[in-house]
């Protein structure tokens, strides 16, 4: 099983809403990532968890709050987002020195 | 700072023609290099990787890439394009410590 599952596939939220994105993998990978991807751009790294501890935070605004409840799950909590936060949010996982990343299909987020 | 440069934001080929997507990376030891493909509304999928060993690496869907250290290049090729190859292609370099640098991407169009 080389699948990373993200839910929901689509999300529309207002600027005052609170929502969460979910990511799950069962490959035993110990590193998990959140990326933000705008149209026609490469993915931008937001957060990395390694062994369930936050390893990298790329100076992401506090309205994005990651959580890693266990080695298979990764959440991204959203609160008071701005319209410019509308994007495709990708989750990935990896294992080993080569850092080959396996990506989910993403959540398409629209902030109104 | 390390960087990955993809020459050409758009490449258009006829079905059956050679596909050549260019990528240059900044020097790093060791250079773990990747090509990922992204189809519309999907996440990224690994096409192939170079870590060590043979400099000509073969990937999925008939793609291959050659690592040329003297030219700091890792160009992606496919002898005969198929309509299903139309997608966005990202060259990427692992920098260590869970960070991957992505190129800006090349959109491949395949004409019938």
Token digits of residue B67: 């690592």
CA distance B26 to chain A (A): 17
Residues 6+ apart with CB under 8 A from B72: B24, B25, B26, B27
Tally helices (H) and strands (E) across chain B. Answer: 0, 11
| Per-residue pLDDT, A97 | 79
Task: Report the alpha-carbon angle A42-A48-A50, nearest 5.
Answer: 145
Q: What is the pLDDT of residue A89?
A: 98
Inter-residue contact A33 to A48 (CB < 8 Å): yes
pLDDT in tens, B8-60: 999 999 999 999 999 999 876 667 999 999 998 899 999 999 988 888 999 99
Distance from CA of A4 to the nearest CA of B (A): 10
pLDDT averaged over chain B? 93
- Which residues sit opposite B91 in a β-bridge? B35
A104 neighbourhood in chain B, CB within 8 Å:
43
Q: Which residues on B lie below 8 Å from A42 (Cβ)?
A: 90, 102-105
């Amino acid at each position: 099983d080389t699948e990373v599952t993200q839910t929901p596939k689509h999300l529309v939220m207002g600027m005052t809403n609170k929502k969460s994105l979910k990511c799950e993998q069962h490959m035993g990978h110990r590193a998990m990532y959140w990326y933000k991807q705008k149209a026609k751009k490469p993915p931008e790294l937001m957060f990395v968890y390694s062994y369930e501890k936050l390893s990298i935070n790329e100076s992401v605004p506090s309205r994005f709050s990651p959580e890693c409840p266990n080695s298979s799950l990764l959440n991204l909590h959203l609160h008071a987002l701005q319209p410019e936060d509308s994007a495709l949010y990708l989750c990935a996982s990896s294992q080993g020195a080569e850092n080959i990343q396996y990506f989910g299909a993403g959540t398409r987020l629209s902030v109104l | 700072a390390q960087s990955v440069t993809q020459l050409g934001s758009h490449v258009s080929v006829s079905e059956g023609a050679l596909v050549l997507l260019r990528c240059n990376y900044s020097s790093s030891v060791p250079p773990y290099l990747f090509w990922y493909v992204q189809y519309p509304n999907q996440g990224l999928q690994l096409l192939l990787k170079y870590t060590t060993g043979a400099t000509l690496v073969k990937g999925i869907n008939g793609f291959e890439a050659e690592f040329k250290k003297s030219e700091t290049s890792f160009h992606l090729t496919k002898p005969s394009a198929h309509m299903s190859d139309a997608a966005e292609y990202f060259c990427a370099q692992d920098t260590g410590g869970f960070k991957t640098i992505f190129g800006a991407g090349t959109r491949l169009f395949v004409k019938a």
